[in-house]
Amino acid sequence: MSGARQDPAPAPLEGCTVLDLATVGPAARCSRILADYGATVVKVGAPPRRSGVQIEPAYHAYSGSRWMKRIRLDLKAPSARAAFLRLAAQADVLIESFRPGVAERLGLGYEAVRRVNPRIVYCSTSGYGQTGPMAQWAGHDLDYLAVGGFLHCSGRRADGAPALPGATLADGAAGGMHAALAILAALLRREKTDAGEHLDVAVVEGVLSLMALTIDQHLATGEEPGPGHDILTGRYACYDTYAARDGRWLAVAAIEPVFYANLCKAIGCERWLDRQLDDTVQDEIRADFRAAFRTRDRDAWVADLAPADTCVAPVYAISELVEDPHLLERGAFAEAEHPRCRSFRQLAPALAGMRPVRGVVTLRDAEESDAEELLRAAGLVAEEIEELRSAGVVA
C-alpha cells in the first residue's frame, strides 16, 4: 500500500539464543556479531567471589555488551553446572574459549551439552585448535598473526623487526568473524539435519584464510612472499603511503594502469606514465611522488584526487574517522548511555544486514544480572534459585 509505514524487518537471528562463556577475545567478538544480527546473547560469567578468574572488559568494550543478558555462575560447583545445563538445553548456540580440554573437565564439553540438547551448535574457539601439537599453547593476537604468516609479510620497523599491527586482526576477523560465519553455516545446516554440531574454531586457521592469496602464491609458484615482494606488499610506488605538507599521510593504491595514469597526471609525474611496474626505476618514482605530495596539505590532495579515479584516500587517525561526513551519513556511530559513566558514542552495528540502532542505546551496569529471569525460563523454581544464591554459586 503506497505511503503506508512499513514495519522493520525482523533481525536475521531473532529468536536464536546464544550462551557465551567468554568475556574477551575472539569468542566475545563473535557473540557481539551475533547479537548485532539479532540473537539473544547471554553472557555467562563468574560470580563475585570468583570474579578474578576472568578478565572484566572496560564498560565501553565490545560495544558495552549492548542488547545482551547476563548471569554469573560458578561452573566448578555441581549445582551451578546443573543450572547451566538447564540453560543450555534451551539454547541454540554455545560459545566457549577455554583452553582445549577444560570444558570437558568441567563437565560442560560438547558431549555433555549434546546429551541435554542434541540440536546445540557448540563453538569452541582457541588459538590453535582443539587438537595438534600446538593445541595447549597459550597465545594472543600477535602470536596467531605470527604463525599465520601475516607478520612476516607486513612492513618492517627501523630495526628490521616486523611491525606491530594497528588492530587485533586475529581476534576480530580470524577469530570472531570466523566463529560467527561457522555458527551461521551450522545453523543453516541444522535446518536440514535437525542436528547440532561441534565447531573447532582455530584462530590461526582464520589467519591462514586471510592470507590465502599469499599462501596460494607460494604453494603454486614456490616464491617466498614478504615485504616488498609484490604490488600489495610495497614493491611498487603506485601502492604505498606518502606524507603531505602538513605531516599527515595519504594512502595510494593505484594498481590498475588507468588509475595510475590519472594519478601521475594529477600530481605532475607524467614522465613515469609508462614505467609503473619497471623495477629499475621504483626508487625514482617514489622520490618524485614524495616530492609532489609534500607540496600540499593532505586534505587538499584528497579533495582533488579522491573523486578523480586515482585510488587515493586519507590515512585517518581514529579521532578523525569518527567525525568523517561519509561515515556519519552512513550511520556508523550511535549514542549510548551508561548508568555509572557519562553518555558517549560507540560504533553502531557495522556489518550489512545487522539490526540498526534506533535512538539512544541504553547500556547496563556490569553488576546487573538476569539470573532470576533466565533460570525461571529454564524451569527452575524459586526455591532452587534461592538455594543457588545462598550457596554463592549464582549471581
Catalytic annotation, residues: 140, 171
Give CA–CA dist 139/150, Å, rounded. Answer: 15
Place of cell 568523517: 324
State the helix-helix crossing angle for 212-221 and 203-210, rounded to 10 degrees.
70
Nearest to 187 by CA among 37, 26, 68: 37
Pairing status of strand 121-126 against strand 93-96 = parallel
- Residue partners of 219: CB distance under 8 A and separation at least 6: none
Beta carbons of 28 and 34 less than 8 angstroms apart = no
Pairing status of strand 239-243 against strand 249-253 = antiparallel
Query: Long-range contacts for 97-106 (Cβ within 8 Å, ≥24 apart)?
Result: 97/21, 97/22, 97/25, 97/26, 97/27, 97/124, 97/125, 97/126, 98/21, 98/124, 99/126, 99/136, 99/138, 100/124, 100/126, 100/129, 100/130, 100/131, 100/135, 100/136, 106/75, 106/76, 106/81
What are the DSSP E strand ranges found in 152-304?
197-202, 239-243, 249-253
Name residue 312's beta-bridge partners: 252
The amino acid present at 348, given as its one-letter code, is: A
Pairing status of strand 17-20 against strand 40-45 = parallel
